[in-house]
Amino acid sequence: MQAMTPTREQITAGILAGGAGRRLGGIDKGWYVVGERPLIEHTIARVEPQAAHVVISANRSRRRYGALGWPVVGDADDSYRGPLAGIAQLLQAAPTPYLLVVPVDTPQLPGDLADRLAAAMAVNIDLCVARCGGRRQPLHALIRCERAAGLREALAAGVARVVDWQDGLRTRVVDWPDCQAFANINAPVDARQLAGLR
């Protein structure tokens, strides 16, 4: 298998911030404050060193997200169709050949996420995805942007789950030893546990 490692200049970080935030009382999760900073700021701080560009997928607070200095895209019909629809918009908006997709709610995501996923990329691989403790992290993945058209077709055909779409791609899994890096904020108790973040 011929290796082909994407460089930072070939990668756009796509942040999924378009959820409804139901388990946090319906607030816009990206602006939920953890460790004195909103989640979107934690996430941008993590991914900016790893990618040449950043694009944010958001269905609310778009002007506020835009004030952070990066492009903002929303679901095609603003209907909260889930993360797969957000990934479709990010793939279309990315100005680079590869998209590093991450959710807005994992404020400790690995600082070497792009490097390690890129090192696993090869000419016959569509997607490299993180795994920890035997559990795939489908929203922490490096994807070829040329797969955008196929994803739009999958959505039109009724595919809704990220893992179902990923299972149809040529995928390589990359294992991580530290599962805490993928700890996400779904409820206030999660935020309290991570309140010591810098």
Kindly state whether residue 198 falls inside one of the protein's structural domains: no
Kindly state whether residue 74 falls inside one of the protein's structural domains: yes
DSSP state for residue 97 in the 8-state scheme: S
Kindly state whether residue 52 falls inside one of the protein's structural domains: yes
Share of the chain above pLDDT 90, in %: 73
Q: Calculate the average pLDDT of the chain.
A: 89
53 pLDDT higher than 90: yes
Return the CATH number at 43.
Answer: 3.90.550.10
Most confident segment among 22-26, 115-119, 155-159, 182-186: 115-119
What was the pLDDT predicted at 82? 87
Residue 101 to residue 144: CA distance in whole angstroms? 11
Kindly state whether residue 1 falls inside one of the protein's structural domains: no
- CA-nearest of 43, 40, 92 to 62 is 40
Kindly state whether residue 82 falls inside one of the protein's structural domains: yes
How many structural domains is the chain composed of?
A: 1
* 43-52, 80-89, 124-133, 134-143: least confident range: 80-89
**Count of Cβ atoms closer than 10 Å to residue 179 Cβ:** 13
pLDDT-derived band at 74 (thresholds 50, 70, 90) equals confident
Name the residue with tokens 């994807």. 143
24 pLDDT higher than 50: yes
- CA-nearest of 185, 86, 179 to 139 is 86
Residue 84 to residue 19: CA distance in whole angstroms? 11
- CA-nearest of 11, 150, 16, 23 to 74 is 16
pLDDT-derived band at 198 (thresholds 50, 70, 90) equals very low
Q: Is 63 exposed, middle or buried (0-12, 13-18, 19+ CB in 10 A)?
A: exposed
Kindly state whether residue 3 falls inside one of the protein's structural domains: no
Are 80 and 20 within 8 A, CB to CB?
yes
pLDDT tens, 113-158? 999 999 999 999 999 999 999 999 999 999 999 999 999 999 999 9
pLDDT-derived band at 22 (thresholds 50, 70, 90) equals low
197 pLDDT higher than 50: no
196 pLDDT higher than 60: no
Tell me the C-alpha to C-alpha distance, in Å, between residue 80 and each of 86, 97, 130, 167, 168.
9, 26, 25, 23, 23
φ/ψ of 149, rounded to 5, equals -65, -40
Structural domain that includes position 105: 8-192
**Count of Cβ atoms closer than 10 Å to residue 161 Cβ:** 12
